[in-house]
Structure 1
């Protein structure tokens, strides 16, 4: 059974990952990325990738799960940024 700290980590990861979902949905619907910062999302991809690697290295399931899903969402935003120019 996961430790309390793991459950807290999963809850934190759920909150921070879910925070990206409304922006992804809004951008998909509007097909407008003019207000989306390319630099911010590019830097987020680097940071999230590093957190994912860290999570894998230390064997932290909450860190791996949250950052894997967030990387997908942020990656989708970057693809839309280039596609909907």
Structure 2
């Protein structure tokens, strides 16, 4: 029997990570992030960082890959929110 657990983790990680892509694209295209909550973005980033550390400690590759990608997306959103706010677009 094939162990499905790693595949379930990969699919789950892909879907939850890919969910950030439309928001990153929309924010980049519109050049404003006023509707995004900074608290939510920061809390997600910190939570995903903790999941990444946990994944690293237990050697769970899907957890590591998914959280690394998600951290990059949400850190990018935080950077855009700060940048656009400084330019008066937020």
Whether the TM-score (by the shorter chain) exceeds 0.5 is yes
- Report the TM-score, using the length of structure 2 for normalisation: 0.90
> For residues 6-85 of structure 1, what are the structure 2 equivalents within 5 Å?
6-85=6-85
Number of corresponding residues: 84
Structure 2: how far apart are the matches of 1:40 and 1:3?
35
Q: Look at both structures and tell me which one has the larger radius of gyration over its CA atoms.
A: 2
**Partner of 1:54: helix, strand, or coil?**
helix
Structure 1: how far apart are the matches of 2:50 and 2:70?
12
**Partner of 2:8: helix, strand, or coil?**
helix
User: RMSD of the alignment, in Å?
Assistant: 1.1
Structure 1: how far apart are the matches of 2:80 and 2:40?
14
Tell me what 2:88 maps to. none
Unaligned runs of 5+ in 1: none
Unaligned runs of 5+ in 2: 86-90
Structure 2: how far apart are the matches of 1:69 and 1:16?
10
